Structure 1
């Protein structure tokens, strides 16, 4: 199974992504990709990066792994964590080291 890279998600920035949840799927928007420097040059398998998703306030996801349908090669099992919500949106982050 190939490791996901930031390039796999670049076409989806600004687009809605379907997340498999019960009892029905929800959609979140991939707002941005944040690239980070390598932790140990020459030892990393891939460039570390994070994905940041926004969702309406009514879409509440737990810190867990969900299937995200981002198209190319998907769906992908992605673990997300909640960030501090704003007045109208919930924010989530997925970290890839």
Structure 2
């Protein structure tokens, strides 16, 4: 089971996303940790926030991500409202 510590070496690094016809890169900007619900959570809940330029567009879905330090991991990404860049979130509850 993945934990926030598994992704700490990825923060600030470009992460390769396995897409077709070729892979793209997004950057893991931060990890947000949340307090576990006593007795309900098996692991500490957390979210990963990735950013990319506007020309890197990923539809919501599960992708294999790898930054060369651990992985690849199949991770569900959801795009948040873009501004001057695209922002993707992966939630681990």
Closer, same or farther: CA 4–70 of 1 in aligned 2, 3 Å: farther
Contact 1:8 1:72 in 2 (8 A): no
Task: Give the structure 1 partner of residue 79 of structure 2.
Answer: 82
Shift of 1:73: 3.8
Question: Aligned residue pairs: how many?
Answer: 93
Contact 2:49 2:89 in 1 (8 A): yes
Contact 2:13 2:67 in 1 (8 A): no
After TM superposition, which residue ranges in structure 1, 4 or more long, deviate above 2 angstroms? 70-73
Closer, same or farther: CA 23–15 of 1 in aligned 2, 3 Å: same
- For residue 17 of structure 1, give the secondary structure of its aligned residue in structure 2: strand
Q: TM-score, normalised by structure 1?
A: 0.91
- 1:85-96, aligned counterparts within 5 Å? 85-87=82-84, 89-96=85-92
The unaligned stretches of length 5 or more in structure 2 are none
Select 2:53's aligned residue among 52, 56, 59. Answer: 56
CA RMSD of superposed structures (Å): 1.0
